[in-house]
Amino acid sequence: MAKKATHEQTRIHNTQLVFSTIYERGEISRAEIARVTHLTRPTVSDVVAELMDEGLIEEIGHAPSTGGKRAILLRVDATSRYLIGLDLAREDFRGALIDLRGDIQHRVTLPLQGHDGDAALNLVYALVDTLIAAAQRPLLGIGIGAPGLVDAIDGVIHQAVNLNWRDIHLRDLLEARYKLPVYMANDCQVAALGEYTFGENNRSKDLVVIHIGKGVGAGIVLGGRLFHGNPLGAGEIGHVTVVEDGEPCQCGNTGCLETLINNRGIVRRARALAADMPQSLLNQLVSDPEAITFETVCQAFDAGDEAARQVIYEVGQHLGTAAAYLVGILGGCRILIAGRFLCFGQFLLDAIRATLTRRSLAVLAQASEVDFVSLGGDIVLRGAAALLMHHELGLFPFSR
């Protein structure tokens, strides 16, 4: 029995090794695979035949002649499988069909409309149902970026306050319903994986992604591995207190970072500043300060309004303080901002950087970088696909 299990494990290992080698190289011959993997030629041929039977790889013609017989090149057929990626940490639920290169082929957005609890769970089913109906390829599985405290190993959302979810065994529920493998992690961690895997910062071994969705948190990749926390909860910077006796937070504490930079916090500050600055465009865009929304702030910011810029500068200061904590713990690092604040551009980055410089050791601040992620708004969807590909196909050596 034990021997058989070992043989099966070896087979899976070899298959994943050959597949990931083809994936990483783009185009490669059987002989070259044998050379770089140290597998025997017959083993490589067997595995390649199996992967071709499954349609995962294809032959694409001959390599340029090097004198002898011209080798046949292989590559991954990127659209041979689709992956379902879900981003459940926004104002709406988003899902996509994603190919094996991490490119989005089809997307679906369902508005939450204030639903929580079971109604929100039913919306997840509706999202997956819609995606499955649209898929014209075999599905590899489902990857999820979920809000709140997520146990990635057991597939449980322990607490997602916004959705009024507690101890939701989302992985088991989805696996039972769809008979597909399901993997999940916190949205910030998934965002970090997405950037690490598919971003322009490709495989920079250490990076921190501060993701601003409904909440705020950090995903941390160290030495090419995602740092989960033990057993969960790494990077929960949103609930670090930045103002003593500040506004109440939905976590139960007061003055958390999240209370200052979430929609409500931004709007609250904008209304206060608008009252102090009668000339502000904020007052001209709406009938009275109480009607100011996040969108009003964005609009006034785009027009160069002083009060709106002040609001965003302060958001940058709060994020800079969080960045300083991270740099103080991790050392100089690459901090990338993802999520809703991309629209505030260089102005926001400069504010973050200025505060980081003021609040950390000069040498650590100098060794750090602050920038936006390269993947934009799809970062969680594509990160969810990376998580799934890692577990199912042995790609991207980033997990613990």
Which residues contribute to the site for Zn ion (CB under 5 A)?
A: 239, 249, 251, 253, 256
Asked whether 246 and 261 are in contact (CB, 8 A), the reply is no
* 148/155 with CB nearer Zn ion: 148
Q: How far is CA 104 from CA 262, 286, 380, 385, in A?
A: 28, 38, 12, 10
* 63/161 with CB nearer Zn ion: 161
Q: ∠ CA(209), CA(109), CA(156), 5° rounding?
A: 55
* 31/243 with CB nearer Zn ion: 243
| Main-chain dihedrals φ then ψ at residue 333, nearest 5 degrees | -155, 175
* 211/239 with CB nearer Zn ion: 239
> Residue 164 CA to chain centroid, in angstroms?
22
We find the least distance from the C-beta atom of residue 251 to Zn ion, in angstroms, to be: 3
We find the least distance from the C-beta atom of residue 239 to Zn ion, in angstroms, to be: 4
We find the least distance from the C-beta atom of residue 146 to Zn ion, in angstroms, to be: 18
| Three-class DSSP category at 52 | helix
Residues in the chain: 400
We find the least distance from the C-beta atom of residue 46 to Zn ion, in angstroms, to be: 55
We find the least distance from the C-beta atom of residue 315 to Zn ion, in angstroms, to be: 16
Q: Which residue carries 């003593």 as its tokens? A: 244
Nearest to 127 by CA among 157, 150, 99, 107: 107
* 78/240 with CB nearer Zn ion: 240
Q: How far is CA 313 from CA 221, 242, 354, in A?
A: 27, 16, 10
We find the least distance from the C-beta atom of residue 272 to Zn ion, in angstroms, to be: 21
* 15/259 with CB nearer Zn ion: 259
* 249/273 with CB nearer Zn ion: 249
* 264/309 with CB nearer Zn ion: 264
Which residue intervals of the chain are DSSP H helices? 2-25, 30-37, 41-53, 117-134, 170-178, 187-198, 257-261, 263-276, 281-285, 294-302, 306-330, 345-359, 362-366, 379-393
We find the least distance from the C-beta atom of residue 262 to Zn ion, in angstroms, to be: 10
Parallel, antiparallel or unpaired: strands 82-87 and 165-168: unpaired
Neighbours of 12 (CB within 10 A): 11
We find the least distance from the C-beta atom of residue 266 to Zn ion, in angstroms, to be: 16
* 239/382 with CB nearer Zn ion: 239
* 145/215 with CB nearer Zn ion: 215
Asked whether 191 and 201 are in contact (CB, 8 A), the reply is no
We find the least distance from the C-beta atom of residue 304 to Zn ion, in angstroms, to be: 33
Sheet holding 82-87, edge to edge: 104-111, 92-98, 82-87, 139-146, 182-186
We find the least distance from the C-beta atom of residue 47 to Zn ion, in angstroms, to be: 50
Asked whether 84 and 389 are in contact (CB, 8 A), the reply is no
We find the least distance from the C-beta atom of residue 215 to Zn ion, in angstroms, to be: 9
Q: How far is CA 93 from CA 144, 163, 397, in A?
A: 11, 11, 28
* 222/251 with CB nearer Zn ion: 251
> Residue 41 CA to chain centroid, in angstroms?
38
Asked whether 288 and 282 are in contact (CB, 8 A), the reply is no
